Structure 1
Amino acid sequence: MASMSFSMQIAEFIAKTKANQDLVVRAITLKIDNKLVQRSPVGDAKYWKSKPPPGYTGGRFRANWQLSIGSPTAGVRDLIDKDGSATIAAHGSVISTAKAGDVIYLVNNLPYAKRIEEGWSRQAPVGVVALTVVEFRTIVDNAVNGVRDGTTASEFAQGYSTYKL
Structure 2
Amino acid sequence: MNKYSGFSGGFSAQLQAFADEAKKDIDLSFREIVIKVGEALIRLSPVGNPELWAENAVAAQHNQEVANHNATLRSDPANVTKGGRLRKGLKVNDSMAIKGAAGYVGGRFRGNWQFTIGSPASGELETIDPNGADTLGRIIAGVGSLEAGDVAYIVNNLPYAIPLEYGHSEKQAPGGMVRITVDRFQSIVSEILARRKT
TM-score, normalised by the number of residues in structure 2: 0.71
1:42/1:61 contact within 8 Å kept: yes
Q: How many residues align?
A: 147
SS in 2 for 1:96: helix
Deviation (angstroms), 1:53: 6.3
SS in 2 for 1:14: helix
Q: Which one of the candidate residues 120, 124, 138 is aligned to 2:187?
A: 138
2:124/2:158 contact within 8 Å kept: yes
Q: Equivalences for 1:109-120 in 2 at 5 Å?
A: 109-120=157-168
In structure 1, the partner of 2:10 is 5
2:50/2:101 contact within 8 Å kept: no
Q: How far apart, CA to CA, are the structure 1 residues paired with 2:153 and 2:41?
A: 12
Gaps of 5+ in 1: 150-165
1:116/1:127 contact within 8 Å kept: yes
Q: Which one of the candidate residues 27, 33, 42 is aligned to 2:32?
A: 27
Q: Equivalences for 1:1-165 in 2 at 5 Å?
A: 5-48=10-53, 49=55, 51-52=99-100, 54-121=102-169, 122-149=171-198
2:167/2:173 contact within 8 Å kept: yes
Deviation (angstroms), 1:146: 2.3
Residue-by-residue CA offset, 1:17-57 (whole Å, 9 max, x unaligned): 11011011101001001000111000110121152164111
Q: How far apart, CA to CA, are the structure 2 residues paired with 1:129 and 1:88?
A: 16
1:23/1:147 contact within 8 Å kept: no
Residue-by-residue CA offset, 1:146-165 (whole Å, 9 max, x unaligned): 2222xxxxxxxxxxxxxxxx
TM-score, normalised by the number of residues in structure 1: 0.84
